[in-house]
Structure 1
Amino acid sequence: MVRITGVMVASVATLTFEEPVRLDRDNLEELYRQLGAAGAENVICRAMEELAVRLSDIAPLYRADRSGELARLARSLVGISSQIGLQTLAHVAEDVSRCALRQDRTALAATLCRLERIGDRSLTAVWDLRDVTS
């Protein structure tokens, strides 16, 4: 509580989450070396589409209390994100999977919020990197 001219006012703190995403450029460069530019672009685009779809499928599974399916979906995010170098996203998706398997609803809610933030920022990071390298 803060006193302003004789009146007690509750102070409100605003928390911002500015967690950086980790993009493994070596992983992407290896894709380009192995598949060539067109092949790597194709893999990256398909992976990003799959990530976007799967990220949007997670919240309904959580609301429906379908922990087993949610854990499997999160595990699939680990594989896809690792393939294109999104290491932070892979780690957070692994955390979500573990929480879902333990059926720890509180931890799952927190890790799902983190997954959403990191997922959005990760997809943006890949698009931004593609814009720079194109």
Structure 2
Amino acid sequence: MPWGHNDFGVTVVDNITTLVQTESVRLDPDRLGHLYRQLGDAGAEDVVCRAIEELAVRLSHCERLWRQQDWQGLRKSARSLIAISDQIGMTALARVAGDVTETIDAVDHVATSATLFRLIRVGERSLTAVWDLQDLSV
């Protein structure tokens, strides 16, 4: 039996299963390559660094708007993530941000919540992947 009671009447659980959610991240290296060819190394690194900073701020802002149930503000913030992430080749992040806006448009708050937290997971992994790809340090 995976659970029972101890001498104090407290339920004791022997086995706990933790669900670990991992998200695949898709980066478009051609998009980054194009950016570097177009702007040069220094210019592209500047754009990428500013985009990463902005994405981190906006992801946090999205969560805050969700907690405030500011659906229109959340929609606007998620939409802005699409353009920024597209610019530096974060295709998965752009797609999930689009999914968030669709759930808001459908007035499905449960789906919005689930999709938003998927967006945050994908965002965190995407930001790390771009740093690693560019050999930048935080």
TM-score band by shorter chain is 0.7 to 0.9
* Structure 1 residue 19: Cα displacement: 1.9
Structure 1 stretches of 5 or more lacking a match?
Answer: none
Distance 1:69 1:113 in 2: 16
TM-score relative to the length of structure 1:
0.88
Structure 2 stretches of 5 or more lacking a match?
Answer: 6-12
* Structure 1 residue 57: Cα displacement: 0.4
Q: Confirm or deny: 8 A CA contact 2:25 2:92 kept in the other structure.
A: yes
Provide the alpha-carbon RMSD of the alignment: 1.9
| Matched pairs, number | 129
Q: Does 1:25 align with 2:29?
A: yes
- The aligned residue for residue 87 of structure 1 is 91
- The aligned residue for residue 102 of structure 1 is 106
Distance 2:127 2:54 in 1: 11
Distance 1:38 1:97 in 2: 34
Equivalent of residue 120 in structure 2, options 108, 111, 116: 116
Give the residue type in structure 2 aligned to 1:115. L
Equivalent of residue 38 in structure 2, options 34, 37, 57: 34
Distance 2:53 2:18 in 1: 33
TM-score relative to the length of structure 2:
0.85
* Structure 1 residue 25: Cα displacement: 0.3
Distance 2:60 2:113 in 1: 15
Distance 2:22 2:111 in 1: 20
| Higher helix content, 1 or 2 | 1
